[in-house]
Amino acid sequence: MIAKVVRTLKDRLGAAAPASPRATAHPPLVPLKLRTVDAAFALPEVSSVADLGGVWAVDAGYSFYALERHAPDRAVLVDDDITPVVRRRAAAFPHLQLLEQNFGLPRTPGDVGPVGVVLLFDVLLHQVDPDWDEILRRYAPQAQALAIVNPMYDVAPQTVRLLDLGEEHYRRAVPPQDNLDGLFSRLDELNPQRGRRWRDVHDVWQWGITDADLRATMTGLGFSAVHAEQLGRWRGLPDFADCAYVFRRDG
Ligand SMILES: C[S@@+](CC[C@H](N)C(=O)[O-])C[C@H]1O[C@@H](n2cnc3c(N)ncnc32)[C@H](O)[C@@H]1O
């Protein structure tokens, strides 16, 4: 069960100063995610990073945290929407590559290239076509580790497509968001910004992914969890737990 906190890297992490949200003062970063970055960089094979979907609300704060604290050889940020703030800050890091494109495109893993750790922070539950598990399959072959922070669904035994729960249940389950008004009446309409139907855009919550399904997927890809934390309810939502993992490529 995920309630068990596993920190096999604890000794190594103890040697470093504790993660501090002040490392990047603006915008505020979540300590759970900073610890997850630190846990990944504690692995000797991790010296580069790709942050998939790193922008919204934090202006790539976890990429910059990794760059400032762990001095990776190379960093790549991939997001559909890269802000001017990110571009300005990125100018100080010539070895940070910005890719403003969908990380689910078939070509994007190749554009990212081989990398020590892939960060997937609050993005997996948004991924449709390719779905969350296919994203993991596409990036696993070129990563030594995958660091995942995600609200995990723990009120059902298997992963669910949240829109299939129906509007009433969906609205109860997910956080309030402006784009939910009228969402269910336009599910099959085109979202012009994303070029796909509203039911498939990453701008809304799509999946309730269970801990068991995530772990089984990663096991199938030849990775094992070397760090995991569960902090209780995700922002008070009854159906989701606040969870973090680092999966490392086996032997
Ligand atoms: C919920 S925010 C998470 C931001 C940050 N990773 C964090 O943990 O605070 C999701 C971000 O991922 C981006 N995103 C989600 N799916 C994407 C995809 N398939 N391709 C490119 N960007 C994506 C969104 O544009 C947004 O910036």
Residue 244: helix, strand or coil by DSSP? strand
251 CA → ligand 1 middle, Å? 31
- Region label for 43, one of left (φ > 0), alpha (ψ between -120 and 50) or beta (otherwise): beta
Q: Full-prediction pTM beyond 0.75?
A: yes
> Is any ligand 1 atom within 6 A of the Cβ of residue 79?
yes
Res 24: pLDDT: 42
Res 78: pLDDT: 98
* Concatenated DSSP letters of 209-234: --HHHHHHHHHHTTEEEEEEEEEEEG
- For 156-208, the pLDDT digits (tens) are 999 999 999 999 999 999 999 888 889 999 999 999 999 999 999 999 999 99
What b/e readout covers 172-203, taking b as 16+ CB neighbours within 10 angstroms? ebbeeeeeeeebeeeeeeebeeeeeebbbbbb
137 CA → ligand 1 middle, Å? 18
| Closest alpha carbon to 37 in 58, 55, 20 | 20
Contact 80, 106 (CB under 8 A): no
Contact 135, 108 (CB under 8 A): no
Ranges of each domain in the chain:
6-159+209-249
Res 164: pLDDT: 97
- Which positions ≥6 away from 105 have C-beta within 8 Å? none
> Is any ligand 1 atom within 6 A of the Cβ of residue 227?
no
> Is any ligand 1 atom within 6 A of the Cβ of residue 64?
no
Res 3: pLDDT: 38
Per-residue tokens: 12: 């190594």
Sign of CA dihedral 47, 48, 51, 52: negative
Q: Is the pLDDT of residue 108 over 80?
A: yes
Res 44: pLDDT: 98
- For 146-159, the pLDDT digits (tens) are 999 999 999 999 99
Q: Is the pLDDT of residue 17 over 50?
A: no
Res 178: pLDDT: 81
Residue 9's pLDDT band (boundaries 50, 70, 90)?
Answer: very low
Q: Is the pLDDT of residue 15 over 80?
A: no
6-159+209-249: CATH number: 3.40.50.150
Res 26: pLDDT: 56
- For 234-247, the pLDDT digits (tens) are 999 999 999 999 99
Contact 15, 44 (CB under 8 A): no
Res 91: pLDDT: 98
**What average pLDDT score do residues 78-101 get?**
97
- For 21-41, the pLDDT digits (tens) are 444 445 699 999 999 999 999
Angstrom distance (rounded) from CA 2 to CA 170: 24
Res 179: pLDDT: 84
Residue whose CA is at the smallest distance from ligand 1 atom 22: 79
